[in-house]
Structure 1
Amino acid sequence: MSAAPVDRLRLAQWFRDARGLSVIALDHPDAPIGTDPSQAGKLPIASWKAFQDARATDDNLQNWFGNGTPRNLAIVTGALSGVVAIDCDSPAAEKWADTNLPATPMVTRTAKGSHRFYRHPGASVPTKARIHGDGLELDVRGDGGYVVAPGSVHHTGFVYARVGPWPPVTKLPPFDVAWLAPATPEPKPATKARSFDAAPGADRDRLVARARRYLGSVPAAVEGQGGDAATFVVACRLARDFGLDRGDTLTLLSEWNARCSPPWSDRDLEDKIDNALKYGDGPIGSKVHEDRPGWRGPSTGARSTGAADADSGSAPTGDVRPLIESTDQDLPRVTAASIAALRTWNDPPAIFLYGGAPGRLDLDEAAAPRMVELDEHRCRHALARAASWQRPRRDGTMIPAMPPIAVVRNVLASPVADVGLPVLTRIIEAPAFDSSARLHITPGYSSASRMFYAPARGLVIPDVLSVPAAADVALARGLLLDDLLVDFPFTSDAERAHALSVVMLPFARELVDGPTPLYLVEKPTPGTGASLLVTALLWPAIGRDVAVLTEGTDEESWRKRLTSTLRSSPSAITIDNLRRRLDSAALSSAITTTTWEDRILGRTENVRLPVRCVWLATGNNPALSNEISRRTIRIRLDARVDRPWLRSGFRHDPLLVWVREHRPRLVWACLTLVQRWLAEGRPAGRVVMGQFESWSRVLGGVLDVAGVPGFLQNLDEFYDLADAESAGWRGLVERWAERYGAGPVGVADLWRLVTPEADSVFEPLAFDFLDDPKLSDRSLRTRFGKRLAAQRDRVFGSFRITAAERKQGASQWRLVPAG
């Protein structure tokens, strides 16, 4: 709601303590408890009869208004509060009250008029509607009644406002019981239908034929799916719009009724015709001449079925949604109708099965597509648009209603196979190849690829040839290497090849049958351009800045951040500016899987999320754990100057302006290189990286065909430099072999090799897991022993660490030749 917040707890206390009024809590339009939208914000949240005889306690008020749930407030009228309220609900009622009732200093301005308060006379004053006989919307709220209080919110957003000084009730003018004089009954309108233009003679046959064609386009009524309302609408169309007499209406309605499930009885059909003539809106015969040239008849008031007129063949102009009665208590039946309506409405789809759970495709504040959970609120939003929810009035006519929350929850609880949502694995923002090498270039969802293409407005990609010529390949390679990447100070061809593979990966991701590694953009000095490089590499595929994932402080925080990020179906996940050693079992697991499974925060259920993103990280000479380094390839930048951010003379400056302007051509270049690789039979890359074999073969093959050297040629160098822990173990094994040879040795002896005495020929070995000044020497040695046990059977250099026989209960270790 747009209304300013009101402290309803303090307001309720003021009404009770300063004015002696009894108050109760009502629902709020933001948290309604009923199904009728017009009553939202007016319904007591619980039984309120007790508060006609006793005022609410402090505990009552705190429970109602102090728990953060939005509530409206009501004043109980009658003897306890000492007030009677006149409810004026129209301008005419306001005018009558101004003329005939005394002025009062206690008034509430309402959405339609006012509540005027008067002093209770002492004698019983019944709550009564329509106290005046001229059809005025003028009601009395006396004993047993209540009115919505100032500060509350109407379902339209209007805020009830206090008018006047609101003195103590003893200062109000008294209510006069004479105002309750019996209202003069209004004469009921004749039930005979008013004809707009009767259809004599031959016109009858034409109208019957048109009406029969209309019925052929109307779906049959189905019990539990708004069948009652649908039949009333059809009766209105026949008896009122087409102006057919009762006999013809019953004949045609019976023909249509044969298709209904179950069919109505003849008596039921006659009742429907009676209700159509009595309660249907609009003049009789509004469609008598509708098919004649130049006819401009009045609009019909009968509720539209949404079907096209059978003569004109025009598109539906009414509500084509199925009708569902919100008051139907058969939950399985209403749920089935809701799911059927949702399936029909969800075409083209916006709601998907993502990660094993329903989700909705949304746009964030930057217009970036993302998946969000289909919770109760979003599901209710969808159901309200998928079907026309109605509830019957006493006269048999239908009025709008809200989808019941029980139905919403039952839809969400239904087996995914029953709901039948399309499965989504990935959102793309530029054309990409699917797993069958088909190019997904049409915006929207593809059931074959299970991808949704959401391009930026105005993005038009040049045509990609099925067999790109050598000149096309050269042009594409030049755009990427000599324009996009030319100004970055890569330290080798391998670094540049890896950077180019980042650009290519989103377009070829579905051709990779498995996980993809973490790309680490590292440099020795801040300001070298790592963050700019990441943005430039991802811009062709995504067309915007990518949100950054901050480092986790422990495994729990890593797990939560990864799950939260993957739930949105990101195209890329970037960990920017690493400041500490990157070591996370959760991150290691996420990188080497294609499906991430984790518990949903605050629930006992798990979610299984597809992992199709590009993984990137940046940092200044960052340290990595052994587990992370094995999942990483390096892109190293080094400008070899003291202040790299002061460099100038770039080919494209500023680079991102050029990238934005040339995004369509850059996308074309990536697609062209992948298409050329496909046309040549998908030759595999020559170097394979363990755990990422498919990625190595696909991206290595694409770059080989494009004539780009260096892919995966820097792995040994990178592992030696990045995996500082493994380097420490190698140093230890060398000392171990030199000092103890192949004999058994204990942790205490090895600890002296790690932290030698000052007069030792050995320097201390650096292990990050020992860099903790808070721990004592004994605690550090214990930690070292546990990490040593984790290295069992690992090979370092020429030796393998193995377990020896225990000595006096203590673990012993020995080195054996590798191989």
Structure 2
Amino acid sequence: MIRPEPSNLLTAAMRYADVGHPVFPCRSGAKKPITEHGLLDASTDKAQIAEWWGQHPDANIAIRTDGLIVIDVDGPDNSWLLDDVDKQQELANAPTSITPRGGRHHIFRAPNGRTYRNSASKVAPHVDVRADGGYIVAPPSVVDGKTYRWLEGSGLDWPPEELTEPPSWLLEILDGIAANRGRASEAQSGGGADDRSLIPEGNRNATLTSMAGSMRRRGMSESAILAALHQTNQEQCQPPLDDREVQKIAESVSRYEPVYTKPAPATSGGLPATDRPYILISTEEYLAIDQTIEALRADPGLYRRGPVLVRVLRVDSQPGKIKRHQGSCITGIVPSANLRERMTKYAQFQSAKVATDSDKPVLVHPTKWLVEGVLHRGEWPNIRPLRGLADTPFLRPDGTICQEAGYDQDTGVLLVPNAQIPPLPDEVGSTEVEIAVQAIMHAVCDFRFQSEADQAVWLAALLTLLSRYAFHGPAPLFLVDANVRGAGKGLLVQTIANIVFGHDMPVSSYIKGGEEMRKQITSIALAGDRCVLLDNIVGTFGNDALDRVLTSTVWKDRVLGRSELVELPIEAVWFGTGNNIAIAADTARRCLHIRLEVMTERPEERVGFAHPELLEWVRGNRTRLLYHGLVILKYYCQAGRPRSVQSAFGSFEEWSALIRNAVVVAGLPDPCDTRDRLLDTADAAGDALSQLLAAWQEFDPTNSGLTASDIITRLYPSTNTPPQPEAAVSMRNAIENLTGASAGHPPTTQMLGKRLSTVRMRVKDGLMLDVDPTWPKNKGARWKLYAANTDSHA
């Protein structure tokens, strides 16, 4: 590709300015202005020009054409004046440049006291005028790899006032164009809209070509131009042109590069008007939606998460059930009103009805159908995906540390740092890791962990938050309980948060009901919370909704303003605290346990702490603690991520491969060592299943099979029946324990069927319940006992 020497560009720009022609820079290889206000910034000030080309040495040169008349003849084979050599020579007597397409720019000065405006194809087909409010690109600029050059013996070596005027025959044409424009404006102000809107035979092709040229200069695509021409042709042309003729006009005009000839001041927070594309509001709705989405690509604050568009917000109040730190960042779905505002910052919307004065587009507000169409498109390939937010440097999947503020292309994470840590060493050794572990564990030296394995779980929780974007699977829930109140469970968890975030993590109450818990999880997924603390858990811990979110990175639910289900990414790390928590079996398998044991009657009255004001101390030493945490992770990645533990942790394989192994390599016990203790002491659901299997064998000794309806009918007969046998009493107790029904009150058939489904094929004491495949499906599921290692009946 040809590129002019930067020194030549600067020299040429200075030369044009020396003789009084205002210049401004355009993008290298293009015609688009670099400066905020485009041609309004044009200047002859050498200091300004030197600054522009000092910042953009490869910038093309544009000359503002106010006070000039530039005849822009497109292409080397243009037929205009082909048979009139005298007129051709009159044009060539003016300074003339050859464009990269082989066309010509003939430069004249406007007669004193007369002004002319830009026009497209009004002098002749493919012959435009650049005058007041316009600009041209000048030699030695390059576009599409080809150079603008002066015609041999020509050049712009005279000031504007010394240039020649256009020949009289050309002025007559230009005056006629101006007069037609004036008559059109007068007719527009005088009414008669119906008569004015008709385009009679003989004017149809020229009028549509003029409209197309105006739309193209304002940046509209060929498809949008064609849609507008089709609509105007059908509504205004008498009679309409053939569709193929209309298509030829759109194709011909679209060969030209867009040029914005009507600059406007920059808008607050958006693009300058000169840079905002025009989008046609027509019946071709899909085109407008596509073009708007492409325009929104320039919006730095717009992201996509799953099937929704989101923005980043700062918490400024505490509504709802989740308590978040004021000033922390969360994500929120973009409401239609905000999207509409963003659309107007990055695009301009034009009515399909073009004004008679073709240089003045009819601008309109974005329509409701367009806003809703963009909002509900579901796919926005040019909008950046947002995986999550980060307050501090974090570990990437490749083992590198992301420390640069802003959007990280490698992970899709937006880093909004509230702390700066020193650069990590290129190589981390075992000595540095030993120092790092000691420094971090010193932060929690006042807590009474039951064992070193409990300390390892705490460190694993800290490292999980620092590396949550380094693995894609789910992370386990970190459950902290104690033998007494006042042991410091919540403080222990918030110590992690204050190291990683510099403030407390979001706190929510645990909701026992699955339906309400589902809504809470949806709120967390929408906000993009990195972690959540379920504080002061009372009663049995665990439900279907919580179990589901702990083993998934996608959450499916309905959100406000949408009737359909949406899938939202969720990678929050969950924490829970309570005293002597009873945990359901399915939930226990998704947790790591930290046990605090304080053997004093009043723990809150203890003294002699190393860190009496722990969180204040943590915040004061935060950058050092963050540094040490990242050192541990970097050391493990540099070591080749050795597998130090052999036992599996189902559903959390990726977490285990990184965090669990990193903790062990750092010299601490396996964090999963506390899982056995948790499962042994908290398997209430497992006990219920054992009770059910034992009672089932007595209630159905021949293993004929039972439907949920059979069970309810036999266990809860009418009050006039004789006392039930012992096997039925045991079975009823087991069913009520499994379903949570009150004693003596039967669960519904649906409830029982659903609970049986949750324990289907779950092995206990060598047995399991499963559906009889030979039973007709239209009679409801029939349940039977099977041995765990065979398909035969138990």
- Please, what TM-score do these two structures have when normalized by structure 2? 0.60
Q: Are residues 233 and 709 of structure 1, via their aligned partners in 2, closer, same or farther at CA, if it must alter by over 3 Å?
A: closer
Among candidates 629, 640, 643, match of residue 670 of structure 1: 629
Helix, strand or coil: the match of 1:652? Answer: coil
2:275 alignment partner in structure 1: 322
Deviations 1:355-413 (A, max 9, x none): 23221122222222221112322212222332467999998668997545444334335
1:641-660 aligned at under 5 Å gives the runs 641-660=600-619
Q: Are residues 323 and 736 of structure 1, via their aligned partners in 2, closer, same or farther at CA, if it must alter by over 3 Å?
A: closer
1:279 alignment partner in structure 2: none
1:376-525 aligned at under 5 Å gives the runs 376-387=336-347, 402-414=365-377, 416-417=379-380, 420-456=382-418, 459-483=419-443, 485-525=444-484
Helix, strand or coil: the match of 2:574? Answer: strand
How far residue 532 of structure 1 moved from its aligned partner, in angstroms, is 1.2
1:91-110 aligned at under 5 Å gives the runs none
1:7 alignment partner in structure 2: none
2:131 & 2:771 partners in 1: Cα distance? 92
Q: Is the 8 A contact 2:308 2:376 kept in 1?
A: no
Q: Are residues 387 and 778 of structure 1, via their aligned partners in 2, closer, same or farther at CA, if it must alter by over 3 Å?
A: closer
Q: Is the 8 A contact 2:771 2:781 kept in 1?
A: no
1:723 alignment partner in structure 2: 683
Deviations 1:24-66 (A, max 9, x none): xxxxxxxxxxxxxxxxxxxxxxxxxxxxxxxxxxxxxxxxxxx
Among candidates 641, 644, 661, match of residue 701 of structure 1: 661
How far residue 545 of structure 1 moved from its aligned partner, in angstroms, is 1.8
2:339 & 2:264 partners in 1: Cα distance? 24
| Corresponding letter in the other structure for 1:353 | R
| Corresponding letter in the other structure for 1:452 | L
Among candidates 333, 351, 356, match of residue 302 of structure 2: 351
Q: Which runs of 5+ in 1 are unaligned?
A: 1-202, 223-228, 277-286, 290-301, 308-316, 758-763
Helix, strand or coil: the match of 2:304? Answer: strand
| Corresponding letter in the other structure for 2:275 | P
How far residue 780 of structure 1 moved from its aligned partner, in angstroms, is 9.6
Deviations 1:85-128 (A, max 9, x none): xxxxxxxxxxxxxxxxxxxxxxxxxxxxxxxxxxxxxxxxxxxx
| Overall identity of the aligned pairs, in % | 23
Helix, strand or coil: the match of 2:671? Answer: coil
1:527 alignment partner in structure 2: 486
2:725 & 2:584 partners in 1: Cα distance? 21
| Corresponding letter in the other structure for 2:447 | F
Deviations 1:158-206 (A, max 9, x none): xxxxxxxxxxxxxxxxxxxxxxxxxxxxxxxxxxxxxxxxxxxxx9964
2:652 alignment partner in structure 1: 692
Q: Which runs of 5+ in 2 are unaligned?
A: 1-13, 46-62, 73-93, 105-117, 135-158, 162-260, 317-325, 716-723
How far residue 245 of structure 1 moved from its aligned partner, in angstroms, is 3.6
How far residue 614 of structure 1 moved from its aligned partner, in angstroms, is 0.8
2:543 & 2:749 partners in 1: Cα distance? 23
Q: Are residues 787 and 333 of structure 1, via their aligned partners in 2, closer, same or farther at CA, if it must alter by over 3 Å?
A: closer
Deviations 1:737-789 (A, max 9, x none): 8x8998759977999479679xxxxxx8897546554x535559997798567
| Corresponding letter in the other structure for 2:635 | R
Q: Is the 8 A contact 1:233 1:304 kept in 2?
A: no
Q: Is the 8 A contact 2:541 2:584 kept in 1?
A: yes
Q: Is the 8 A contact 2:482 2:579 kept in 1?
A: yes
Count of matched residue pairs: 560
Q: Are residues 627 and 398 of structure 1, via their aligned partners in 2, closer, same or farther at CA, if it must alter by over 3 Å?
A: same
Helix, strand or coil: the match of 1:714? Answer: helix
Q: Are residues 537 and 732 of structure 1, via their aligned partners in 2, closer, same or farther at CA, if it must alter by over 3 Å?
A: same
Helix, strand or coil: the match of 1:795? Answer: coil
Among candidates 118, 121, 128, match of residue 265 of structure 1: 121
Helix, strand or coil: the match of 1:476? Answer: helix
Q: Are residues 612 and 255 of structure 1, via their aligned partners in 2, closer, same or farther at CA, if it must alter by over 3 Å?
A: farther
Q: Are residues 319 and 256 of structure 1, via their aligned partners in 2, closer, same or farther at CA, if it must alter by over 3 Å?
A: farther
Q: Is the 8 A contact 1:743 1:814 kept in 2?
A: no
| Corresponding letter in the other structure for 1:680 | A
Among candidates 778, 796, 801, match of residue 764 of structure 2: 796
1:329-340 aligned at under 5 Å gives the runs 329=282, 335=289, 337-340=291-294
| Corresponding letter in the other structure for 1:440 | C
Q: Is the 8 A contact 1:684 1:700 kept in 2?
A: no
Helix, strand or coil: the match of 2:478? Answer: strand
1:611 alignment partner in structure 2: 570
Q: Is the 8 A contact 1:623 1:722 kept in 2?
A: yes
Helix, strand or coil: the match of 2:467? Answer: helix
| Corresponding letter in the other structure for 2:431 | A
Q: Are residues 472 and 489 of structure 1, via their aligned partners in 2, closer, same or farther at CA, if it must alter by over 3 Å?
A: same
Q: Are residues 334 and 514 of structure 1, via their aligned partners in 2, closer, same or farther at CA, if it must alter by over 3 Å?
A: closer
Q: Are residues 736 and 716 of structure 1, via their aligned partners in 2, closer, same or farther at CA, if it must alter by over 3 Å?
A: farther
Helix, strand or coil: the match of 2:509? Answer: coil
Deviations 1:477-515 (A, max 9, x none): 0122122x2122221222221111100002222333422
1:593-604 aligned at under 5 Å gives the runs 593-604=552-563
Helix, strand or coil: the match of 1:719? Answer: helix
Q: Is the 8 A contact 1:356 1:607 kept in 2?
A: yes
1:28 alignment partner in structure 2: none
1:591 alignment partner in structure 2: 550
1:363 alignment partner in structure 2: 314
Q: Is the 8 A contact 1:528 1:639 kept in 2?
A: yes
2:748 & 2:566 partners in 1: Cα distance? 39
- Please, what TM-score do these two structures have when normalized by structure 1? 0.58
2:781 & 2:18 partners in 1: Cα distance? 102
Q: Are residues 415 and 523 of structure 1, via their aligned partners in 2, closer, same or farther at CA, if it must alter by over 3 Å?
A: closer
Helix, strand or coil: the match of 2:527? Answer: coil
How far residue 625 of structure 1 moved from its aligned partner, in angstroms, is 2.3
Helix, strand or coil: the match of 1:465? Answer: coil
1:603 & 1:765 partners in 2: Cα distance? 42
Matched, 1:711 2:671: yes
1:591 & 1:520 partners in 2: Cα distance? 13
Q: Are residues 399 and 211 of structure 1, via their aligned partners in 2, closer, same or farther at CA, if it must alter by over 3 Å?
A: farther
1:538 & 1:390 partners in 2: Cα distance? 50
How far residue 256 of structure 1 moved from its aligned partner, in angstroms, is 9.1
Helix, strand or coil: the match of 1:604? Answer: coil
Q: Are residues 265 and 621 of structure 1, via their aligned partners in 2, closer, same or farther at CA, if it must alter by over 3 Å?
A: same
